[in-house]
Amino acid sequence: MVRENFEEKLSALKQQVLKMSEMAKTSLSKSLYALEHQDLQQAQDVINQDEKINAIEDEINDQAIWLIAKEQPVAKDLRRLVITLKVTNDIERIGDLAVNIAKSVIRIGTDTLPEEKQQILMTASVVEQMIDLVIEAYIEENMETAFEISRIDDKVDHQYGSSIETLLTHMTKHPDEISQITQLAFISRYLERAADHVTNIAEGIIYLVKGKHVDLNT
């Protein structure tokens, strides 16, 4: 009976993590919609939502620490709780990066953006795919999917380098657009960092399953 109660608490905690991850993904998607359509109200909504993501992170962490202290779990159960603390930190950072993108959109305002914006939005769609995959991998504790995320992250890194090179080239030809180009460069960097945090979560999934640390961000 005690074991069943503990499993129920672990399951409830996992559902909270999934809820938080969906919230962070929604914030990222909204910030990218705001970029594509230069929708300043949507960008502000993302900023306003951030406190809710931070609040649920605090709830999850408090519950995980309480379970560690009260139940004194061992082996895989302990890894589940430790990884929960790590995963929520990475999810919270993805939410923060969505806010950073939204703030860049607001700084750009209604100024006309160069067509290089589309290259950034293509990278964004890959990052969103990574988030979907890592949520799936977390639910199923699937190592193969976690390793696949690492391979996709390499693609994002390549696209980031290409975007920065293209933006710098555009800037030299259109110095009057330096403000917009600078914000697009920041957004490219935020997306690359979001992909890194997704990869960190994938590392945690592998540790959960195998009990071994791997570095996928190499």
Question: The CATH number of the domain where 113 resides is what?
Answer: 1.20.58.220
Domain membership flag for residue 171: yes
Closest CA to 129 of 33, 43, 198, 190: 198
Domain membership flag for residue 109: yes
Closest CA to 188 of 95, 110, 118: 118
The lowest-confidence range among 101-115, 133-147, 175-189, 203-217 is 203-217
Domain membership flag for residue 31: yes
* CB atoms closer than 10 angstroms to residue 148: 16
- Whether the per-residue pLDDT at 2 is higher than 60: the answer is no
Domain membership flag for residue 178: yes
User: What are 59-107's pLDDT values in tens digits?
Assistant: 999 999 999 998 888 888 899 999 999 999 999 999 999 999 999 999 9
Q: Which domain holds residue 60?
A: 2-210
Closest CA to 77 of 207, 201, 208: 208
Domain membership flag for residue 94: yes
User: What are 137-181's pLDDT values in tens digits?
Assistant: 999 999 999 999 989 999 999 999 999 999 999 989 989 889 999
Q: Give the separation between CA 25 and CA 12, rounded to whole angstroms.
A: 20
Domain membership flag for residue 218: no
Q: What's the number of domains the chain is made of?
A: 1
H or E element in which residue 113 lies = none
Query: What confidence tier does 55 reach under pLDDT thresholds 50, 70, 90?
Result: very high
Query: What confidence tier does 111 reach under pLDDT thresholds 50, 70, 90?
Result: confident
Measure the CA angle with vertex 130, ends 136 and 122; round to 5°.
Answer: 145
* CB atoms closer than 10 angstroms to residue 66: 12
